[in-house]
Structure 1
Amino acid sequence: MRALGTAELHGVWASTLLPLNEDDTIDFGRLELEVDALIAAGPHGIYTNGSAGEFHTLAEYEYDRLHELVAGRCADAGVAFQLGAGHPSGQLSLDRIRRAAALRPGAIQVVLPDWLPLSRDETTAAVARMAEVADDVPLVLYNPPCAKTQLPPELFAELADAVPALIGIKVPGGDDDWYRRVSALVGGRLAVFVAGHTLASGLARGAAGAYSNVACLSPAGALRWYRLMHSDAPAALDVERRLQRFFRDHIAPLAAQGYCDPALDKTLAAIGGWAEIGTRVRWPHRSVPADLVPALRTAARAAVPELLG
């Protein structure tokens, strides 16, 4: 597909999730059906290998097969797609970027090397080197709360100056002061993507979109909510308040029990029931028991029927 620019990078992007067999192998048949369901839901685009996609567990042959499937299905359907090339090793990340670039996605998502924190100069050098090997495919930098190197708005501004190929950032967001700092320092040079369950308030404060955990719950529902943000902002903010209450009351307790983010994202997908993915995550992480899903689904439908209709 054609490379994306900053102004074109917006909206609700839905993640691929790994349907796993009992031996932790990927069920590519179910994955193909999942991608078809995502395409049918009509998000602004589909992406791979964020935290929800368990990118850190993939063997390289799985990485290539996953990307060939997603790139092929999306290209055939005319749907925008981004490929994640993150890896805790910077060297292996460069190899993944090269192979992702050959499939010509709209952008490549990257993470910083993760075993040791990076200095400011090392951060800039890392992103610049990634851009060099991306063969003119733009980059989106994912800086989640679990990253060893946490970047302040000032460093995002420095990266925007130093690496023109960087078109967006994927961050958790922040308070009003954080948004003001990002706006003042970054302006329109980077598309700011925030957590999906904060998108209504984030859009109002300058965010461009979300690589969306709400799309894990319901890809079509997340898109309906996005449209509501533009047609009736107060109603969309009311949905956000109820959604965050559901997360606080029902998802946060699972996180407090030690379930990792991919396990929670797969649980959201099981609640939504839009594809046969299952709640299983790869060793060594624990999977949320599937027998918890019916009660969670009932609670979600009571809290945010607009998303699960």
Structure 2
Amino acid sequence: MQPLTPRGLRGVWASVLLPVRADEGIDMDRLAVAVDRLVAAGVHGVYTNGTAGEFHTLSDAEYDAVHELVAAACTAAGVPFQLGASHPSGQLSLERIARAVRLGPAAVQVILPDWLPLGEDEVLAAVARMAEVTDGTPLVLYNPPYAKTQVGPELFGRLADEVPALVGIKVPGGDAGWYGRMVEAVGDRLAVFVAGHTLASGRRLGASGAYSNVAALSPAGAARWYRQMDADPDAALDLERRLRGFLDAHIAPLARAGYCDPALDKTLAAIGGWAPIGTRVRWPHRWVDPDLVPALRARAREAVPELFTDGSAARR
């Protein structure tokens, strides 16, 4: 797989979500179906082991099995893929990086060690050590809002200076002031990926793409929306406005009720109906009752029908 560069890392990337059986195991047959549908959807790439992929729950054997399946499917289809080697333990993350790079991904995604907050020099040391283990494979750093260590634009600029293997970052995004600081600090040395449902407005301010929750809802629809951002940016912004309205009205209340991000993304996938993933997440987290999905699907189709014109919401 061709390694990614800051300029080449763009677009809508779809997360591999884990179909979980009642016995807590991963249903590899259903996972294979879901991955095949992702690679056929027209997204710019596929990635594993983000928060929505429940990376923090995986055994080593599960980690390897998921990655071997994804790498084989994406390689056969010619679709770029990134493998997540994140783990709250930095030492275990190094081990996972070493195993991931052997499968030839376009990049490896990591988080910072996450039990204790890190100082700036420790952040630099952590990312530099991870980059050494990638042995030439590019690195992408995920810094979500719930990470113990929050990295600001200026520290991202230092990382870009000192760790050439770092090609991209996954962050929540921010207001125009935040984007201005990011552009000043990193320029075009890092691809800045933001929340999927903010991508139309984010691209106008300097975002490169999204590891996308919209792709959880409809991978083909998210890819079409990205193309619309170039062809008809005003219409793309209008879709973003309506999409945010749907999420605020129907998904945010689930978050406030205590459902975790993987549960929310699996709910979006169930609403989209593009693959047999289900809403179940792994212990100890709760999952959304699938009986709620038909009503949510109807509201989604009313709000953003363009995302479903491929018929994905009718699949099971």
Matches within 5 A, 1:282-293: 282-293=282-293
Q: CA deviation at 1:176?
A: 0.3
Letter in structure 2 aligned against 1:73: A
Letter in structure 1 aligned against 2:121: D
Offset from partner CA, 1:6-33 (integer Å, 9 cap, x none): 1110000000000011011000000001
Equivalent residue, structure 2, for 1:21:
21
Equivalent residue, structure 2, for 1:295:
295
Q: CA deviation at 1:187?
A: 0.3
Q: CA deviation at 1:251?
A: 0.3
Equivalent residue, structure 2, for 1:249:
249
Equivalent residue, structure 2, for 1:155:
155
Runs of 4+ in structure 1 over 2 Å off:
none
Matches within 5 A, 1:223-234: 223-234=223-234
Q: Does 1:188 align with 2:191?
A: no
Q: CA deviation at 1:308?
A: 1.6
Letter in structure 2 aligned against 1:100: A
Letter in structure 1 aligned against 2:178: W
Q: Does 1:64 align with 2:64?
A: yes
Q: CA deviation at 1:175?
A: 0.2
Matches within 5 A, 1:45-56: 45-56=45-56
Secondary structure of the 2:150 match is coil
Matched residues in 2 for 1:300 and 1:199: separation?
Answer: 18
Q: CA deviation at 1:2?
A: 1.6
Matches within 5 A, 1:163-174: 163-174=163-174
TM value normalised by structure 2: 0.97
Matched residues in 1 for 2:104 and 2:37: separation?
Answer: 22
Equivalent residue, structure 2, for 1:77:
77
Equivalent residue, structure 2, for 1:261:
261
Secondary structure of the 2:223 match is helix
Unmatched 5+ stretches in structure 2: 310-316
Matched residues in 1 for 2:79 and 2:243: separation?
Answer: 28
TM value normalised by structure 1: 1.00
Letter in structure 1 aligned against 2:140: V
Matched residues in 1 for 2:247 and 2:305: separation?
Answer: 14
The two structures, once aligned, show a CA RMSD in angstroms of 0.4
Offset from partner CA, 1:221-246 (integer Å, 9 cap, x none): 00010011000001000000000000
Matched residues in 1 for 2:4 and 2:190: separation?
Answer: 12
Letter in structure 1 aligned against 2:234: P
- Identity of counterpart residues, as a percentage? 70
Q: CA deviation at 1:135?
A: 1.1
Equivalent residue, structure 1, for 2:38:
38
Q: CA deviation at 1:42?
A: 1.3
Unmatched 5+ stretches in structure 1: none
Equivalent residue, structure 1, for 2:143:
143
Equivalent residue, structure 2, for 1:212:
212
Offset from partner CA, 1:234-263 (integer Å, 9 cap, x none): 100000000000010000000000000000
Equivalent residue, structure 1, for 2:88:
88
